[in-house]
């Protein structure tokens, strides 16, 4: 049989081409098993990276907690060195300042980082609590993992260092006072407040309480009776004490008044506010910007022909601080050492037979011959008024002058009837008898 050479060559050429193509397809692709192996490896690496990142973040949060507590502890020690006591309470995300607001020990009290780590409870702030009449403190905090010498779990910082494994973690979120679940309390209320449903509320002795937290119509009474006011008063945030605003009395025509009801109600007294018994407390924060010759803070005092006087008053100027009535001064103190543009806490306290004037908690003036604060006319805040008698039985208010008015800012004004909030036993002038309030009532 004769086969042509050209056909044989074509046949082997085709076979060789098919074989080469099949070989190339096997060497340039991946099998299903190879792809699955690669996917598993990538998944493992991604999981490991996620776990490592999560652990790193948890360690970073714990490191911040340690840093926060040490920073806060340092600020508290500076406060103690200056004041001789630790603050009654501190509030997260606010500054730690001296009672006179002149020294800042910590610009921002830290907040516990989120999320909770390890076995730590969620949504729990650092828990600060004073002990032994403000001569010691604890700050309770929780770590997810140990960090240096500080163990994982609940710990407490004290003036002497960290106490590890402190056990119970107080539950004080959104609580101003009351049981913390660990045999202690979440906080203490200011003098004059009761702890109700874990919040501090004014007690029944509080007859007028002005926080001055509004930009306009700044005379909302937060006492249990919620009194209505007259007059005109705006708020200011040019300076601050506790709330968003303070009462702005820089315009000498600004004032507010609280009066009784019935005929001529704008002139006669609210009997909750005047007369007061011989046991009372009138306290507020004041910040003078200009000295007035009289500087009327509070008054129910009126004069009318023929030389009849009635009521009581409080004035602050650069000569004297006076609590007086129709017969003269009950308490008087030389105020020449007071500064403009500085907050001071004033407390006028009658304790039956005796009365005292306290400035920033220190007794400045004292009398053992106390008198009840009498008077039947409305209570004005921010000025002293003269008046004249009208046959119908009320008085008309004369035009206010700058000298009669208080010029500056007020905050946290409170009148309490039937209780002496602060008292002295030996009543030595110049002695510190109490710590001024460090927050709103």
Q: What is the mean pLDDT of each run of 10 residues along the chain (441 residues)?
A: 49 48 56 85 81 74 88 92 86 86 90 82 79 80 82 84 63 77 74 87 92 85 88 87 88 78 66 88 94 83 64 89 90 94 95 93 93 83 62 47 78 94 90 87 84
Which residues, at least 6 apart from 277, have a Cβ–Cβ distance to it below 8 Å?
A: 350, 372, 417, 418
Which residues, at least 6 apart from 108, have a Cβ–Cβ distance to it below 8 Å?
A: 93, 94, 95
Q: How far apart are CA 415 and CA 222, in angstroms?
A: 11
pLDDT of residue 6: 52
Q: How far apart are CA 358 and CA 350, in angstroms?
A: 11
- State how far Cα 358 lies from the chain centre: 22
Q: How far is CA 293 from CA 149, 270, 321, 364, 379, in A?
A: 62, 28, 11, 21, 20
Place of tokens 């056990």: 167
Q: How far apart are CA 126 and CA 130, in angstroms?
A: 13
Comparing CA positions, the residue from 303, 297, 295 lying closest to residue 377 is 303
Q: How far apart are CA 352 and CA 368, in angstroms?
A: 9
Q: Are 429 and 365 in contact (CB under 8 A)?
A: yes
Q: Measured between alpha carbons, how far apart are the two ends of the chain, in Å?
A: 123
What are phi and psi for residue 249, nearest 5 degrees?
-110, 25
pLDDT of residue 399: 43
Q: Is the pTM of this model over 0.95?
A: no
Question: How many Cα atoms are found within 13 Å in the side-chain-facing hemisphere of 158?
Answer: 11
pLDDT of residue 212: 92
Place of tokens 């650069």: 318
pLDDT of residue 8: 46
**In the chain, where are the structural domains located?**
55-188, 199-417
Which architecture characterizes domain 199-417 according to CATH?
A: Sandwich (2.60)
3-state secondary structure labels for all residues of the chain: CCCCHHHHHHHHHHHHHHHHHHHHHHHHCCCHHHHHHHHHHHHHHHHHHHHHHHHHHHHHHHHHHHHHHHHHHHHHHHHHHHHCCCCCCCCCCCCEECCCCCCEEECCCCCCCCCCCCCCCCCCCCEEEEECCCCEEEEEEEECCCECCECCEEEEEECCEEEECCCCCCCCCCCCCCECCCCCECCCCCCCEEEECCEEEECCCEEEEECCCCCCCCCCECCCCCCCCEEECEEECCCCCCCCCEEECCCCCCEEEECCCCCCCCCECCCCCCCECCEEEEEEEEEEEECCCCCEEEECCEEECCCEEECEEEEECCCEEEEEECCEEEEEEECCCCCCCCEEEEEEEEECCEEEEEECCEEEEEECCCCCECCCECEEECECCCEEECCCCCEEECCCCHHHECEEEEEEEEEEECCCCCCCCCCCCCCECCCCCCCCC
Question: How many Cα atoms are found within 13 Å in the side-chain-facing hemisphere of 382?
Answer: 25
pLDDT of residue 355: 94
Which residues, at least 6 apart from 146, have a Cβ–Cβ distance to it below 8 Å?
A: 152
pLDDT digits (tens, 9 = 90+) for 303-317: 665 566 678 889 998
Q: Are 259 and 271 in contact (CB under 8 A)?
A: no
pLDDT of residue 387: 52
């Amino acid at each position: 049989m004769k086969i042509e050479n050209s056909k044989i060559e074509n046949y082997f050429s085709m076979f060789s081409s098919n074989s080469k193509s099949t070989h190339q397809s096997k060497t340039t692709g991946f099998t299903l098993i190879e792809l699955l192996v690669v996917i598993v490896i990538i998944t493992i690496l991604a999981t490991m990276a996620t776990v490592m990142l999560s652990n790193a973040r948890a360690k970073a949060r714990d490191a911040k907690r340690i840093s926060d507590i040490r920073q806060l502890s340092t600020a508290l020690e500076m406060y103690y060195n200056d004041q001789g006591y630790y603050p009654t309470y501190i509030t997260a995300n606010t500054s730690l300042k001296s009672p006179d607001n002149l020294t800042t020990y910590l610009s921002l009290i830290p907040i516990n980082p989120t999320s909770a780590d390890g076995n730590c409870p969620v949504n729990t702030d650092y828990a600060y609590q004073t002990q032994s009449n403000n001569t010691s403190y604890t700050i309770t905090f929780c770590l997810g993992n140990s960090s240096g010498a500080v163990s994982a779990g609940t710990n407490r910082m004290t003036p002497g260092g960290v106490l590890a494994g402190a056990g119970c973690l107080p539950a004080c979120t959104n609580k101003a006072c009351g049981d913390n679940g660990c045999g202690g309390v979440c906080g203490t209320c200011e003098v004059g407040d009761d702890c109700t449903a874990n919040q501090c509320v004014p007690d029944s002795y509080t007859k007028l309480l002005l926080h001055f937290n509004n930009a306009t119509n700044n005379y909302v009474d937060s006492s249990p009776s919620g009194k209505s006011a007259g007059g005109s008063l705006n708020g200011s945030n040019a300076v601050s004490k506790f709330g968003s605003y303070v009462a702005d009395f820089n315009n000498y025509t600004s004032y507010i008044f609280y009066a009784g009801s019935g005929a001529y109600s704008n002139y006669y007294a609210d009997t909750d506010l005047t007369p007061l018994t011989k046991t009372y407390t009138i306290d507020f924060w004041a910040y003078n910007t200009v000295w007035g010759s009289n500087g009327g803070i509070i008054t129910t005092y009126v004069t009318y022909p023929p030389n009849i006087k009635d009521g009581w008053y409080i004035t602050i100027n650069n000569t004297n601080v006076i609590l007086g009535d129709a017969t003269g001064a009950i308490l008087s103190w030389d105020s020449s050492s007071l500064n403009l543009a500085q907050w001071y806490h004033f407390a006028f306290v009658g304790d039956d037979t005796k009365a005292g004037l306290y400035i920033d908690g220190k007794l400045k003036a004292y009398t053992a011959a106390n008198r009840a604060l009498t008077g039947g006319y409305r209570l004005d805040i921010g000025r002293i008024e003269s008046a004249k008698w009208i046959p119908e039985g009320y008085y008309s208010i004369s035009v206010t002058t700058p000298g009669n008015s208080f010029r500056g800012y007020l905050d946290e004004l409170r009148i309490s009837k039937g209780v002496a909030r602060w008292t002295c036993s030996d009543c030595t002038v110049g002695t510190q008898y109490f710590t001024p309030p460090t927050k709103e009532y």
